[in-house]
Amino acid sequence: MPSACSTTPTPLPRVTGAYLQPAIDAAAAQGVDTRALAAGAGLDRLALDPLPEALPARDYIALLDAGARLCRDPHFGLHVGERVRLGTYSVYGGVLLACANFGQALELTQRYEQLAHDLGRSQLGLDGMLAHYTWISRFPQASRHLVESVFAGIRVFGSWLAGEPLAPRAVAFAHACETGTGEYERVLGVVPRFDAPAHVATLDAALLAMPVANADVGLYPVLQQHAERLLRERTLASASACAGIVDQVRAAVLRNLAHDPVRLAGIAADLGMSARTLQRKLSDAGASFQQVLDEARHGLAMDYLRQEGLSLLDVAFLLGFREQSAFTHAFREWSGMNPGAWRERALGRA
49 and 157 both lie in a single domain: yes
Domain that holds residue 340: 244-346
Do 56 and 157 sit in the same domain of this protein? Answer: yes
Establish if 204 belongs to a structural domain: yes
Is there a domain that residue 234 lies in?
no
- Longest Cα–Cα distance of the chain, Å, equals 59
Contact between residue 177 and residue 188 where contact means Cβ atoms under 8 Å apart:
no
- Shared domain check, 143 and 37: yes
Of 188, 220, 252, the one marking the end of a domain is 220
Same domain, residue pair 18 and 134:
yes
Stretch 77-91: mean pLDDT, rounded? 90
Q: Which pLDDT band, with edges at 50, 70 and 90, does 350 fall under?
A: low
CATH number, domain of 295, equals: 1.10.10.60
The C-alpha atoms of residue 100 and residue 96 are separated, in whole angstroms, by: 9
Structural contact between residues 13 and 287, judged by C-beta atoms closer than 8 angstroms: no
Domain boundary among 220, 236, 262: 220
The mean pLDDT value for 281-295 works out to 88
Residues 167 and 63 in one domain: yes
CB 101 within 8 A of CB 210: yes
Q: Specify whether 56 is located in the same domain as 137.
A: yes
The answer to whether residues 117 and 149 belong to one domain is yes
- Specify whether 49 is located in the same domain as 133: yes
- Region for 163 from its dihedrals, namely left if φ exceeds 0, alpha if ψ lies in -120 to 50, beta otherwise: left
Evaluate whether residue 314 is within a structural domain.
Answer: yes
Report yes or no on 210 lying in a domain: yes
Residues 75 and 205 in one domain: yes
Triad 227, 229, 231: Cα angle to 5°: 70
Asked whether the beta carbons of 137 and 145 are under 8 A apart, the reply is no
Which domain CATH number covers 23? 3.90.1520.10
Residues 210 and 115 in one domain: yes
289 found inside a domain: yes
Within a domain: 250: yes
**72-91: average pLDDT:** 92
Domain-located, residue 194: yes
138 shares its domain with 26: yes
pLDDT at 136: 93
Tell me whether the omega of the peptide bond preceding residue 74 falls within 30 degrees of 0, making it cis: no
264 falls within a domain: yes
For the chain, the domain total comes to 2
156 and 208 both lie in a single domain = yes
Long-range contacts of the stretch 222-229 (C-beta < 8 A, 24+): 223/91, 223/94, 223/95, 223/98, 224/95, 224/98, 224/108, 226/91, 227/91, 227/92, 227/95, 227/112, 227/115
The string of pLDDT tens digits covering residues 290-311 is 999 998 899 888 888 888 878 8
* pLDDT tens digits along 17-51: 899 999 999 999 999 999 999 999 999 999 998 88
